Amino acid sequence: MTKKKLALLVMSFGTARSLDGIEDYYTRIRQGRKPSAELLEELTGRFKQIGLSPLNEITQAQGEELVRQLNGAQEEIEFKLYVGFQYVAPFIGDVVRELYADGFRELVAVAMAPHYSRFSVETYHDRVWEAAADLPGLTITAVKQWWKEPEFAEFWAENIKRELVTIPVAEQERAVVILSAHSLPEKLMAIEDTYKRQVSESADQIIKAAAGPEHYAKAWQSEGKDASSENKWLGPDVQDLTRELYAAKGYRHFIYCPIGFVAEHLEVFYDNDYECRVVCDELGVIYHRPPMPNADPLFMQAVTNAVLKQR
Residue 195, pLDDT above cutoff 60? yes
Residue 14: CA count within 13 A, CB half-sphere? 23
The identity of residue 169, as a single letter, is: V
**How is domain 4-146+296-310 classified at the CATH fold level?**
Rossmann fold (3.40.50)
* Residues 224-278: tens digit of each pLDDT: 866 556 789 999 999 999 999 999 999 999 999 999 999 999 999 999 999 999 9
Q: How confident is the model at residue 297 (pLDDT cuts 50, 70, 90)?
A: very high
* Residues 38-84: tens digit of each pLDDT: 999 999 999 999 888 999 999 999 999 999 999 999 999 999 999 99
4-146+296-310 matches 151-288 in fold: yes
Could you tell me the pTM of the whole model? 0.96
Question: What pLDDT score does 151 carry?
Answer: 98
* Residues 72-128: tens digit of each pLDDT: 999 999 999 999 999 999 999 999 999 999 999 999 999 999 999 999 999 999 999
Question: What pLDDT score does 159 carry?
Answer: 98
Domain residue limits, the chain: 4-146+296-310, 151-288
Question: What pLDDT score does 192 carry?
Answer: 81
Q: What is the CATH number of domain 151-288?
A: 3.40.50.1400
Contact 213, 174 (CB under 8 A): no
Indicate the DSSP class of residue 139. E
Q: What whole-number distance in Å separates Cα of residue 234 and Cα of residue 128?
A: 28
Nearest CA-CA partner of 303 in 70, 92, 141? 70
Locate all alpha helices (DSSP H) within the chain, ordered by sequence. 22-29, 37-50, 55-73, 92-101, 121-132, 150-165, 186-189, 194-210, 238-249, 266, 277-283, 297-310
